[in-house]
Amino acid sequence: MTILQAISSLVLCLFALPSVAAHGYLAYLGIVDGQSYTNYTGNVPNADPSPSVIRQVSDISPVKGASNPDLNCGLNAQFAQKVASANPGDLLVFDWRGGDNTNWPHNTGPMLTYMTSCGSSDCTQYNSSSSKWFKIAEIGIVTNATSNGSPVWAQQSVMNGAFTNVTLPSTISPGNYLIRHEIIALHLATELGGAEFYPACSQVKVGGSQTGMAKDSEMVLLPGAYTDTDPGIYDPDVYSSNSYTFPGPPIATFVSASASSSGSSSSSSTSSATSPASTGSTSGSSSSSGVQSVCKLQRRTQSSAESVARRSLKHSSHLPLGIQESHQQKGLRLHSLWGDLVTTFSALRLGGLEIAKGGQSAMY
Ligand SMILES: [Cu+2]
């Protein structure tokens, strides 16, 4: 993107601030476990909640300020009623949406994934405000700036309609966990306090019999791990510099170890994806191995049928924020979501999944 485009998108965002489109939330969590795929629906912020595994937040607006208590799990995050099942090595698929259910509206800044143990009980009543979190993944700049363009971040593909996925560490110990996936939008981070934090916590029970755990020294409080002056949070050069310093701790070493020892089969989800060229700060080795566990899935191939479906969906869903979509609308959207995933998996050639590529055209 050119400087001009960067400026114009910044200006657009500033003008768009009062609109619901300017911010967003984690709308879905998908879990791919071997042959099976489970999609968990999140609640629209502040809507009358349905049982979910994603902790509902009160607004699509960002958390502002690195010491804001809402940095923990998002604005006024509420316990969720359900718990997702997952196993070590599963693919976690995050689907972020804008507040009016269009694409995620931002393109600048990193995405980071943390986990914390809920202890011996499930996470449905677990207060994580003083919990210790460890980082399992982070992704930032994927294409360096050119002489006439800003660097491109992985977040750009989310804005373009992609899912973001993260591999659950293949050696992680079984137990009850919160998975905190966070987008930090840096389009205003040229000013102190301008960064927008979007954390989202999902409640998961991890099975298996692995033994991987983070060290005490790798665990942090949230808030607590960031300050407003961190170079990755207050970043005056965000539109021009190719170097980026991820905030927070390094990726836990057991995650890096499992990523490098898992061989070719589990690296398939990353090898065919865009290869990220992010410049991690923490240490060369930990940032590069962490990036390996993250890749982007192309969500939108935009067949014309889908465009029509989406357009009509958009027309029929001109509802103020807080009103839940009808069953029919949800069905239509899930339908297209599944189509997207079929495309995605075919494109990524995920090992065990045998999904015919032709399936997609039959859906519409
Ligand atoms: Cu926003």
pLDDT tens digit sequence for 282-340: 233 333 334 322 334 444 433 333 343 343 333 333 323 222 333 334 444 443 444 34
Q: Which residue has the higher pLDDT, 191 or 16?
A: 191
> pLDDT at position 22, please?
86
158 or 283, which is more confident: 158
Tell me the CA–centroid distance for residue 23 and ligand 1, in Å.
Answer: 3
pLDDT of residue 2: 57
Q: Is-contact 289 259, C-beta < 8 A? A: yes
Pairwise CA distance, residues 19 & 361, whole Å = 35
Average pLDDT, integer, range 356-360: 24
Give strand pairing partners of 176.
119, 205
Task: Report whether 200 contacts 67 (CB < 8 A).
Answer: no
Ion ligand 1: protein residues whose beta carbon lies under 5 Å: 22-23
Ligand 1 center from residue 141 Cα (angstroms)? 19
How far, in Å, is the centroid of ligand 1 from the Cα of 25? 10
For ligand 1, the distance from its centroid to the CA atom of residue 238, given in whole angstroms, is 17
Residue 242's CB is within 10 A of a number of other CB atoms, namely 16
More confident of the two residues 193 and 344: 193
What is the tens place of the pLDDT at every residue in 232-271? 999 999 999 999 999 999 999 999 887 766 543 332 232 2
* pLDDT more than 90, % of the chain: 62
CB-CB neighbours of 33 under 10 Å: 17
**58 C-alpha to ligand 1 centroid (Å):** 15
CA distance 87 to 364: 32
Distance 60 CA to ligand 1 centre (A): 8
Summary mean pLDDT of the chain: 76
pTM: 0.73
Tell me the pLDDT tens digit for each residue of 69-112: 999 999 999 999 999 999 999 999 999 999 988 999 999 999 99
Distance between CA 201 and CA 118 in Å, rounded? Answer: 12
Can you tell me the distance from the alpha carbon of 81 to that of 103, in angstroms, rounded to the nearest whole number? 27
- CB distance 343 to 360 below 8 Å: yes
Q: Quote the pLDDT of residue 47.
A: 96
Q: How many CA atoms lie within 13 A of 262 on its CB side?
A: 24
pLDDT, one tens digit per residue, over 12-37 is 544 444 444 589 999 999 999 988 99
Q: Where are the alpha helices (DSSP H) in 184-323?
A: 253-261, 263-266, 268-271, 284-292, 304-316
Ligand 1: centre distance to CA 253 (Å): 32
Q: What share of the chain is helix, strand, coil (3-state, %, to 5)?
A: 25, 25, 50
Distance (Å) from CA 16 to ligand 1 centroid:
9
